[in-house]
Amino acid sequence: MQKLMHVDLSRPNSEGIKLAIETVSCGFPSPAVDYFSGETLNLHDLLIQRPTATFFARAEGDSMFPLIRTGDLLIIDRSVTVKNNSVVLAEVDGGHVVKHYRVLEHGIFLCPENADYEPTRVTQDVVICGVVTSVVHSFR
């Protein structure tokens, strides 16, 4: 991942998008699918908790597959406290990587989702840039 994106995170001028029903079945169809809850959903409010600390990055590579795929939009918050198992954006050896932050018995590591890749030990040279709070994945 090489490019970080700057996006204006000021609250958009929209009323939101109508929310159909609270949940949608991923198994057998529900007869409630034709009904709207009357509630609207604003994606900005849902995905951006702290605009001044939030930025976007576009994912590239397969080390976090299938959790994160090439082209996914990552929403990263610099103000979120890193916890064990957080997905983080980190600066390692002059480049940026997205990995699980894992506290293990023998140290702290940046671990890939994909078992084809090796974990990286977190040293004093590794900088945690933020926590990935959401991933936007498009089917197109």
pLDDT by residue (tens digit) across 56-99?
999 999 999 999 999 999 999 999 999 999 999 999 999 999 99
Continuous H helices in the chain: 43-47
Q: Determine whether 119 is exposed, middle or buried from the number of CB atoms within 10 Å of its CB (0-12, 13-18, 19+).
A: middle
Catalytic residues: 63, 99
Please, what are the domains in the chain?
Answer: 4-136 (2.10.109.10)
Q: What is the pLDDT of residue 2?
A: 45
Confidence category of residue 27, pLDDT binned at 50, 70, 90: confident
Residue 49 pLDDT greater than 60, yes or no: yes
* 33: its two tokens: 């699918």
Q: What is the pLDDT of residue 42?
A: 83
pTM attached to this predicted model: 0.79
* 16: its two tokens: 């939101």
Which residue has better confidence, 132 or 28?
132
